[in-house]
A and B are shown apart, each in its own frame.
Chain A
Amino acid sequence: MTSAVSVEQLSISFPSAKTRFTAVSDVTFSVEEGQTFGLIGPSGCGKTTVLRAIAGLNTGWTGLIDIFGAKLEPGRKITGDTRRNIQMVFQDPYSSLHPRHRIAHILGEPLKVHGAEGIDAAVGIALDRVGLSPALAGRYPHQLSGGQRQRVAIARALLLKPKLLLLDEPTSALDVTVQAEILNLLNDLKASHRMTFILVSHDAGVIGHMCDRGVLMSHGRIARALDRAALSELTEDAVEAAAWDETPGYRGN
């Protein structure tokens, strides 16, 4: 079994008024290649914080993060092949696309940064791959529906052919029917691009539908590791109940 991602004793804290606030402490898990791994928990449990550390968006952590054999280093930007391999799709397609840039610009930028050629054609292919007409390249984000915007965000994440896609509540801002379309699209793309997913969600239904394994988080710690059998018993109430568990490490307000 190959581990795509392994995270050991990950702790993340932020400075606050009195002391440092520990958002994540002692989180350990590993994700096998080709799987969809769920980080599940109520608001404020630290699941997005873990994802942002893996994405390299927050480098102030301690512990060990290993991605496809490359160790990330705390305090340093992710560069080179590892940077291409890790891409992220954010929760809100209304705020994750630049409102004053056309879709062609938004999708062309990562290619330009990495010095690719034939950008216009690549943008057309990228849109087509997520089920959008290449004619949308000339539009601004506000001229698209929420589902179309999330497709653009997914297209952007796929442009550099990542091996690991980090999904932060990718459908929680969408209608149930649009959510169904996006989840189908993600599963199709995962199969065709041989990707590994880490999915953050508080929705037990989405997790149960998508994930092969996962962990339930509570107050910055792993409350429970979940395999498929345990996922079958995961209910909305169980996710919510994790918010009220008394955990020794909890130093919230």
Chain B
Amino acid sequence: MTDALLTVEDLTISFPSDNGPVPVVKSISLTVAREIVAVVGESGSGKSLTGRAIMGLLPCRAHVRASRMLFEGIDLQTLGPAGWNGLRGSGMGLILQDPKFSLNPAHRVGRQVEEALLLHTKLSARERKQRALDMLARVGLPDPERVYASYPAALSGGMGQRVMIAAMLINRPMLIIADEPTSALDRGLQDQVLTLLRSLTEEFGMGLLLISHDLQQVSRYADRVIVMRQGEIVERLPASELAQAQTAYTRGLWAARPSFATYGTRLPVFEDSGRPS
């Protein structure tokens, strides 16, 4: 794809162990254009590690190798600390699972939302505050002035996640990586936050890499879906064709969500999921 924002080819991530390096992501390739791509898999499938490798956020003992890792023409594998600092929060942003842990409890919301502007722009304090208030309103927070002056402890989970999104989007990045952005929220709030992410992605013309374990849920928001299992990509398909997925694993992942129709039956589980017992 020529209009890809992000191109990853042959990405392998391994961790050292007593018995030599253990590969946890095995030679995967993916591209993200101005679209929503979901990476789906169960715990331990390597989906979060993939997202973090793209952001250069893996611990240094992790060994990352790829034949190509390009973002907007920048070779991510050659970036030093200064290069990464210029890119994170400006060109690309990461939204994490739980606002309770990813917002700093000791700083007011306003300061955290503005931080990317402080680091990456030359706006004055007043302009920064105005942009932050606009952004807080854009993500659907009522009374942005009050939220701006609040500490994270005063926010509910859904509000906290909206603040996270505002902080990530304030600098209009090209690519957002959202790692389970809603799994700490109620189901109703999950839909609200995903709807918000989708509409902002379209409005700002961004690419969004949405990492999740819930196939049915992301299929309603993503354009394309990549299914990972034990470090490998087992299937890639348009979200609209998920119900007709080819591999047994994808079909199992699809059917694992309980519903009224599965009453009285056993839900499908994967016996050889590679979890420690």
Contacts and interface: CB of A to CB of B under 8 A. Distances in A.
Contacts, number: 87
Contacts of A183: 258, 267
Contacts of B216: 176
Interface in A203-220: 203-206, 208-210
A247 interface: no
B75 interface: no
Contact of A177 (B259, B262, B263, B269): B269
A178 B43 contact: yes
Contact of A146 (B43, B187, B273, B277): B43
Contacts of A178: 42-43
A234 B260 contact: yes
B256 A184 contact: no
B258 A177 contact: no
A225 B211 CA distance: 37
B232 to A, nearest CB: 16
B268 interface: yes
A237 B267 CA distance: 24
Contacts of B263: 208-210, 228
Nearest to A211: B263
A180 B263 CA distance: 12
Interface of B: 42-43, 186-188, 191, 213-216, 252-253, 256-263, 266-270, 273, 275-277
Q: Which 6 A-B pairs have the closest CB atoms?
A: A208-B260, A209-B258, A240-B188, A180-B267, A177-B42, A180-B256
Interface of A: 42-43, 132-133, 145-147, 175-181, 183-184, 187, 202-206, 208-210, 228, 231-232, 234, 236-237, 239-240, 243
10 contacts: A175-B43, A176-B216, A176-B253, A176-B257, A177-B253, A178-B43, A180-B267, A202-B188, A236-B187, A240-B188
Given A176-B257, A202-B186, A232-B260, 18 more contacts: A145-B43, A145-B275, A176-B42, A177-B213, A178-B42, A180-B257, A180-B258, A180-B267, A181-B269, A183-B258, A184-B267, A204-B260, A205-B258, A208-B260, A208-B262, A208-B263, A209-B262, A228-B263
